[in-house]
Amino acid sequence: MILRHAGEQEKRRRTVEILKLRGAPHRGGEFSFAIVPGEGISIIPIALITERGQPSVERVSVGNAELDRMLGDGLRRDEVAFVSGATGTGKTLIAVTFAAAGVALGHRSLLISFDESQEQVLASAQAWGFDLEAMEGSGLLRLLNTYPEEASLENHFRRGPSVD
């Protein structure tokens, strides 16, 4: 068993890796963990994807024809899309457009913002012509705002995002 506490982009990250488990199968790779007072070590298998049968082949629009084309006719249904980039590159606009396109078709969406407050996301969406409050009111959209750097990333995933 290898325990690591490596620096990564000015943050520390704890991982555990099991190299060999005699007489038993195990999943290889590094897994994040948190040390929880009174409980011990809590492993966060972020890289672990549980089997859910056959993945969907149905494609859904992200709400932008050019981006759909780049993605091969949109995203697969039930796929998780993580949009990342520098400030001002359009991450929130892409996420809001995708969520609104899904809601318009009657699909449920979850939009998580890691660096903007709920008020900022709502105001930006309103400026782009999207009424996220009405979408939330319909029960088809859930908007969560959180800031994972408040604690370690491992503790963030263990605790789950908070709602502003």
Quick: pLDDT tens for 106-128. Answer: 988 888 887 788 899 999 999 99
Report the pLDDT value the prediction gives residue 69, as an integer from 0 to 100.
92
Closest CA to 79 of 103, 104, 109: 109
Domain that holds residue 29: 2-44
| 73-80 mean pLDDT | 82
Quick check: 153 pLDDT over 90?
Answer: no
Same domain, yes or no, for 105 and 146?
yes
Same domain, yes or no, for 87 and 114?
yes
| 49-71 mean pLDDT | 79
> What angle (nearest 5°) sits at the alpha carbon of residue 53, between those of residues 48 and 57?
100
Report the pLDDT value the prediction gives residue 132, as an integer from 0 to 100.
95
Same domain, yes or no, for 69 and 110?
yes
Phi, psi of 43 (to 5 degrees): -85, 135
| 133-146 mean pLDDT | 91
Query: Which of residues 154 and 105 earns the better pLDDT score?
Result: 105
pTM of this prediction? 0.58
DSSP state of 162: P
Q: What percent of the chain has pLDDT over 90?
A: 20
Phi-psi region of 160 (alpha: psi -120 to 50; beta: other; left: phi over 0): left
Query: Which of residues 161 and 132 earns the better pLDDT score?
Result: 132
Same domain, yes or no, for 140 and 86?
yes
Same domain, yes or no, for 36 and 68?
no
> What angle (nearest 5°) sits at the alpha carbon of residue 23, between those of residues 17 and 28?
25
